[in-house]
Structures are given as structure tokens and as C-alpha cells.
Chain A
């Protein structure tokens, strides 16, 4: 294996409350190559904040610290805000959850995709346009010329998310963070969108961090899995080994998944006394 793409050691993200600072990520560590890593956990487990912290986008008054946060040989913590901006989008990008809220309502889809390219590269107008149309085709939009002129409220959720993918991949980043990319979509289009992300990530040899609360989905699309609970990693394993997980939290999550062929009347509830803390 070559040098890792991303190394994170002891990442902590905290927010002030009136009872003192509360840590939402408590000492997260992992190493990522050009592979697909899944981060799973329930709501509030700190998985989304991890994604934002990698981009150094935890907004004040939130605070992030880490012993080590290195991306492709670049110490992310030592970078100026300006240097971080050159990395964001261009080298590390993030697909957001819900295209209804994560696209600017008063800019055309084409303009928003073009902007992602333009902030990173100075290109003539025609070249930008050509790349935007090419990218829209790459995300399986059949009528790119027409779609580029639409506003976000004029496209469906699935199409909005494909626009999002096009926007985040157009500067050809090395690492893509997908923060619950399908949880706002209909089940019928979820697989299409994930297949698309998977295919583009493989084609371009990128690293992927897929953040989700869906164990099954993550084990299908990822090589390795990190399970988070209350800001801590409780389990880290190869995706295919997930069924052999040892931590009671992970075991509890697996047990709570409904199966096609089963006849259980009730799904088991997580027994939180099995592990410390919460």
C-alpha cells in the first residue's frame, strides 16, 4: 500500500454550551488510502462533524483540534484559510445531504457547477461551459443543455443530487466525502445515486468517505467501516467482516436490522447499558 491519502489522529470537535464545552467528536483516529471508507452511526454520533472537520469547516463557536490531520502529505491544521480554500473543492470535496437545501435557490444549476470549477481554475468561458455539460452527462443527465439552465426548484430530488455530485466532482478532487448523500431521496433513486458515486470514485481512483446511518448500505459500497457512537469510534473493520463485529453497540445495530425472510414481531431495542457512557 502506498502512502495514505488521509491520516487523522485524535480529532476532537467541541461546542460551547451553558454547562461548558461539549465534545461531539472525542478523539477520532483513522487512516484512509484511495479506498472507500464508511462511517456509520446514529444521529448525533458525530459523523457529520467529522466530515466537516476534515475540510476545516466547523464554524465558530465550534472548535476542532487533532494531534495529526494530514492529507496527501499536507498538514491540514497548519494551512492558512486561503490555502484551505485552494484545497476545498479542488482536492477534498463533499456531497451534502439534501439538494433541496444545499443548492442555492436563485442560481441556475449550470452556474453553480461552473462556479465550483471557476474558483479553482482560470479557464475561458467556452471551456467552462464544455466541462459543465460533460460533467452533467457523466452524472447521467440526458439533456445537459436544458438542465444547466434550470433552477434548483425545477429539478427532482434525484436529479438535484446528481447535480450536486457533478458540482463536487468537476474540479476532480482526490477525496470525496459523501455526507448522507441519499437519505433525502426516494428509495427508488437511492441506489442509482450511490452506484453513480461508486462508479465515478472508482474511475477516477479517488478516496471516498461515505457517511451514513445505514449499515447495510455502507457495507455494500465500502471497503472498510468505522462505527461511531457518541463521538467515539467503537468498531473499525473490513466491510465483509461486519457480521463478526465484537462491540456490543455494533452487534446491537446489526441485530436491529430487519430481514426479508424473518418473522420477528418486534425488532430488538439497543441495550445501552452494554457499553459505557451514554
Chain B
């Protein structure tokens, strides 16, 4: 018995290593494809990056010099592979908008988005899943109707509108939350940057004033993001649950005398965890792309804002860098979902 189990474990570990090798190859190819597509699209858009650098009053000689300096005179394929080489060495190039290395910029803007998105998805999951389960187990009741209308609102209300109204009501009107930005000016630069996540950095040095100020600033935008993912997650949870509650094994559980709350959470909810992970993972990845609307309304220095600025300025290094980050987020979240599937669904093992 012991030996048999060990053999099984060894085989599992072997399988995992092979799986990991395959994963690395697939990931590398995905990144290469992602870079290639972004790179070539960036080169064919009718915006001249050289002009963006030298300005429109430069002489032809200055223009040509800048063009050679930026390496844009070489064939596209050569440019692409030299870019890939630099990326492999960890160099994402200079941003022409901020005049700083793109890697440094990303290390600054991505945590701002990560913090807001994580709080948003937490709100969405912690409230959305129970709401959806509740609506499904009370299908057709007035509560179900209210939840459905609420979820529909989350689909149809524009984010910027909700952001502006939220600011007008809760910041300007009631004064319950702090305004735009990540911190009040007074608190800025008080805590050393380690992770770039305000809440974590301030908690690490035990500066609770900064912590609560950061939370105050996060509250409104994160709640609004949370509302959108809540609406989506609740709708999906409701429909997954309705599907399961109609199955025969639910009747079996009731025949056994299992209490209703356990029929719902212990039986019907278990199989829907797998599709829910996909829904939650994709919502989270969507939030991590950075909501340009919310970031603009709340002057949030996140990746959505950064990417939009870079696009408008034809700042291709920044665009490519940000795309890489977003691509990695999607690949990572997909991989985590895959692992969770296998843990939660015996049929996929």
C-alpha cells in the first residue's frame, strides 16, 4: 500500500515536471506572439515616434539623426529581434514621455492598479458569490428580482458616470471618503516604497495614519470597480447555481434529509466552483488591465492611465512594456485557474 502510493506520487511529480516544461514553452511562445503583434502594430500606426521626440520644428538633419539613434532606420525584423533581445536582458527601453526606463515606470504604475483591482475583486467575490447563490435559491422571489435589476445596472451604467457621481456624493457632498489620488499630499513620501502597494508599504513600517489615508482614497474607486465585478459574478453565479439545483443529485441529497443550506453550499455549490474560477479569474485580469475611466476620474496613477498616455504619444517602448505586463497577468491567472480546476474537480485530474 505504502509503496503503491509512493509510486503514484512519483508519477504525479514526474507529470508535474513535464507539465511545467510544457507550460514554459507555451508561455514563451505566447509572449513572443504577443510582442510580435504589438510590435508590428506599433510600427504601422500612422504616428511618427521620431516626430514625437524631436518636435515638429526640427530640421531634416536633426530628424534623421534621431531616427538613426532610435534604430528606426533598420529593417523591421532586425528591430524586432533586437528588441526581444533587450527584453530578455530585462531592458524594456526608455519611455519618451517620462524620459525614464519603462521598467521603472511600470514598477511604479502597476502596483497602483494591482492594489485597486485586488480590493475591487475581493468586494466582487465576497459579495457577488453569496448574492448569486441567494438569488438562485430564492428563484422568482422579489429578492431575486431586486438582485437581477441590480446586476443589470452593473452591466449598463458607465463607469465614469458612477465615478463622477460617487465623487460628487461621497467626497464633495457627504465627505465620507477622500478625493482623487492615492494619498493626501501631506502623507506623500512618508513611507519608503517597497512593494508599491500603499496599504502593504505603510503596514510594513507600522504607519497606520498613512495606511488609513490610503484606504480612504481606495474606498470609492475600489467599491465602484467591485460593483461592476459583483454584478457580473452574481449573474454568473446565479445561472450556474440554477443549473445545478435542477440536477438529480440535489433531489438525492434532499431524500437523505440533508438540510437545505447544506444542499445549497455542500452539494450544489461544489461543482460550480470550477466555472466560477474562470469567471472570477477573467474579471480580475480585466481589472488588472487598469480601468482607464476609473483611473482618469480618480487621478489614479495606474497602468490604464499610463498605457493610454503612451499610446497617445506613440511611446512604443512604454506600450510594449505595458502590454507585456498585462499579458503576463493573463497567463499567470490562467495558470492559477488551471491548477485550481485540478484541485477542485476530480473529473479533470
Interface string of B239-267 (1 = CB under 8 A from A): 00000000111011111111100100011
Within 8 A of B (CB), among A136-176: 151, 153, 164, 167-168
Asked whether B342 is an interface residue with its Cβ less than 8 Å from the other chain, the reply is no
Query: What is the minimal beta-carbon distance from A23 to any residue of chain B, in angstroms?
Result: 21
The reply to whether A88 and B256 form a contact with Cβ atoms under 8 Å apart is: yes
Asked whether A209 is an interface residue with its Cβ less than 8 Å from the other chain, the reply is no
Q: Determine the chain A residues whose CB is within 8 A of the CB of B256 once the complex forms.
A: 88-89, 93, 115-116, 119, 167-168
Asked whether B189 is an interface residue with its Cβ less than 8 Å from the other chain, the reply is no
Asked whether B2 is an interface residue with its Cβ less than 8 Å from the other chain, the reply is no
Asked whether B346 is an interface residue with its Cβ less than 8 Å from the other chain, the reply is yes
The reply to whether A119 and B251 form a contact with Cβ atoms under 8 Å apart is: no
Which of B255, B266, B345 contacts A94, CB < 8 Å?
Answer: B255
CA–CA, A93 to B257, complex, Å?
9
CA–CA, A103 to B248, complex, Å?
8
Within 8 A of B (CB), among A50-97: 52, 55, 57, 85-90, 93-94, 96-97
State the interface size on chain B (CB cutoff 8 A): 21
Asked whether B344 is an interface residue with its Cβ less than 8 Å from the other chain, the reply is yes
Instruction: Output the nearest chain A residue to B262 by Cβ-Cβ distance.
Output: A119
Query: What is the minimal beta-carbon distance from A88 to any residue of chain B, in angstroms?
Result: 4
The reply to whether B270 and A104 form a contact with Cβ atoms under 8 Å apart is: yes
Q: Determine the chain A residues whose CB is within 8 A of the CB of B248 once the complex forms.
A: 96-98, 101-102
CA–CA, A52 to B271, complex, Å?
25
Which of B257, B262, B266, B271 contacts A105, CB < 8 Å?
Answer: B271
Q: Determine the chain B residues whose CB is within 8 A of the CB of A57 once the complex forms.
A: 251, 254-255
Asked whether B347 is an interface residue with its Cβ less than 8 Å from the other chain, the reply is yes
Query: What is the minimal beta-carbon distance from A171 to any residue of chain B, in angstroms?
Result: 8
CA–CA, A106 to B256, complex, Å?
17
A–B complex contacts, Cβ < 8 Å, 25 sampled: A55-B255, A89-B255, A93-B255, A94-B255, A96-B248, A101-B247, A101-B249, A104-B252, A104-B271, A105-B271, A105-B346, A106-B271, A106-B346, A108-B346, A115-B253, A115-B266, A116-B256, A119-B256, A119-B257, A119-B258, A119-B259, A120-B257, A151-B346, A168-B255, A168-B256
